[in-house]
Structure 1
Amino acid sequence: MIPNRLLEHYEDKYAAEEVAPAPPAYPLDVRRPRHRAGNAVANLARLLPPGADVLELAAGNGQIGESLRAGGVPFGSYTLSEISPPRLAGLRRAFTDPRFEVAYADAERPSEKLSGKYDAVVMLALIEHLIDPMGAMRDIASLLKPGGFVYVDTPNIAKWTRRLRLAGGRFPSTASVDEGLTRGDGVPADLHDEGHLHYFTYRSLSLMLTERCGYASTEFHPYYEAPRYFGDRLGTALSRWRPGFFAEISMVARVKDA
């Protein structure tokens, strides 16, 4: 159960999304994605089987689902779930394709509200906010069809820029500056590091999912985001060569086939 303090934070933060315009779509064929959403869209377009039933937890403004729809990905159904009332209202207003369903679901225990089975569950910028990520990921595994997968994107605490900050005696915050106290736009953070409660490496998340949460295997889908010291070509090559050092975490975890 999400504490009221967190619910109030997300409701205030996303209040404007109740009347925001529909999100722009990311193209599916970007060779070198520079953002987690663009990377997710490119990967999901390849990974989803035709007619897939998809659940996106903490779907935000629905940009992933809209990008897949606009790109012609032949999914069967796409459930956009949220806990924020303004976001839920915005999603219901913007998504009218009958393949989309908008649902309230607490990502800590989504099976309490969602009873279907899915080919894929999408989680972008979410697992780091969960109070009990191991319990949540076990619950999410129970919602997957045999052979289904969860797509997880989260900051990599072992990325080289954060290693340097820590070596210099500074906390390597992943969503804020000033050691988690100030938002990127200069406004004081309402929650420390914008509500990030857990920090992962590729290794730690992979081990957690396979050894403690019931997933059979993991595979990595890294991308080059920032900083821009390297060009797109070199940055992408480095992120794919040593994702644990150069890339944010983008990972697929699969459950066993029947």
Structure 2
Amino acid sequence: MTRPPTGAARPPAGLRDFYENPAVPVASGPARSTRQAALLARALGPRRTGAPPATILDIGCGDGTAAATAAHLLGGHRLVGVDWSQDALRRARTRIPAAAPGELTAVRGELTDGGLPFATGSADAVLFSEVIEHLVDPDAAVDELHRILRPGGHLMLSTPNLAAWYNRGLLLAGIQPVFSEVSLRHIHGRPGTQVVGHLRLYTARALRAFLTAAGFDVIRLTGAPYHDVPRPLRPLDRAACHLPSLSSILLAHARRRTPHSPQDP
């Protein structure tokens, strides 16, 4: 994350202008991207001889950093970055390695009904890293991910945890939680100096219930540390990862439910 531009003549007119601003951060940390890619690589397993490559979509790819990191662990598969920001896509196309000569590796798409340029059931896996907390309509977005994934396809999602261990203490003290924002212009009432456009936040329980209701089976929910935790507190932040409900970041591995798979209660 980066500090918003100083000396700006006027604040962003809306969300689209906000994310087209080159000063707004559009990438999650490389450590988190590596962890997600490793989980997906294990889920996909080794590519069988003669089998076609899996189609993996990095939805909300930002500047392509996460996809470029993931590509090293997902070799042999087709990796495509998708974002709605033209500025982010320009940067992504310089980072995401081509899966095949002449093949597009970063394309524009929106998380609306039919807004992603992929056929129904055409994707084997979706990376959805640090995106859902920015969405006005997460229901429509996850419905669109469900559409493009094949039955049994993998969804690797990460998002900040509203109930992170330090946020519980901050709320008890009457302080706005870390990750939450009340303005796209300035920080009000919480620690930190960076405006990043968070609109929705989840606890581990809420995220599991949300994905289950959207037609996914949650295979695994784990925790990850947050890079901006003060250095003296980082050992505690790493320890909290062993209990995802307290961790800074939630990492969910879910699969699109097949017609014969039981629905979680």
Q: TM-score normalized by structure 2?
A: 0.75
- Residues 148 and 16 of structure 1: CA distance in aligned 2, closer, same or farther (over 3 Å): closer
| Counterpart mapping for 1:180-219 below 5 A | 183-184=193-194, 189=195, 194-211=196-213, 213-219=214-220
For residue 37 of structure 1, the aligned residue among 33, 38, 44 is: 33
Question: Match of 1:221, SS?
Answer: strand
Question: Match of 2:241, SS?
Answer: helix
- Structure 2: unaligned runs, 5 residues or longer: 1-11, 48-52, 182-186, 260-265
Structure 1 equivalent of residue 262 of structure 2: none
Query: CA separation in 1, counterparts of 2:234 and 2:190?
Result: 28
Structure 2 equivalent of residue 68 of structure 1: 70
| Counterpart mapping for 1:133-152 below 5 A | 133-152=138-157
- Structure 1: unaligned runs, 5 residues or longer: 18-22, 27-34
Q: CA deviation at 1:180?
A: 5.5
Q: CA deviation at 1:91?
A: 2.3
Question: Match of 1:170, SS?
Answer: coil
Structure 1 equivalent of residue 109 of structure 2: 105
- Residues 13 and 108 of structure 1: CA distance in aligned 2, closer, same or farther (over 3 Å): farther
- Residues 74 and 93 of structure 1: CA distance in aligned 2, closer, same or farther (over 3 Å): closer
Query: CA separation in 2, counterparts of 1:146 and 1:70?
Result: 26
- Residues 238 and 95 of structure 1: CA distance in aligned 2, closer, same or farther (over 3 Å): closer
Indicate conservation of the 8 Å contact 1:52/1:74, yes or no: no
- Residues 172 and 61 of structure 1: CA distance in aligned 2, closer, same or farther (over 3 Å): same
Q: TM-score normalized by structure 1?
A: 0.76
Query: CA separation in 2, counterparts of 1:106 and 1:82?
Result: 7
- Which AA in structure 2 matches 1:183? T
- Residues 90 and 247 of structure 1: CA distance in aligned 2, closer, same or farther (over 3 Å): closer
Q: CA deviation at 1:196?
A: 0.9
- Residues 68 and 37 of structure 1: CA distance in aligned 2, closer, same or farther (over 3 Å): closer
Structure 2 equivalent of residue 254 of structure 1: 255
Higher relative contact order (CA 8 A, sep 6+): 1
Number of residue-to-residue matches in the alignment: 230
For residue 179 of structure 1, the aligned residue among 189, 192, 198 is: 189
- Residues 16 and 148 of structure 1: CA distance in aligned 2, closer, same or farther (over 3 Å): closer
Question: Match of 2:163, SS?
Answer: coil
Q: CA deviation at 1:9?
A: 0.8
- Residues 46 and 175 of structure 1: CA distance in aligned 2, closer, same or farther (over 3 Å): farther
Q: Does 1:46 align with 2:39?
A: no
Question: Match of 2:174, SS?
Answer: coil
- Residues 246 and 112 of structure 1: CA distance in aligned 2, closer, same or farther (over 3 Å): closer
Structure 1 equivalent of residue 123 of structure 2: 118
Q: CA deviation at 1:14?
A: 4.9
Query: CA separation in 2, counterparts of 1:201 and 1:174?
Result: 12
Question: Is the deviation greater in 57-66 or in 41-50?
Answer: 41-50
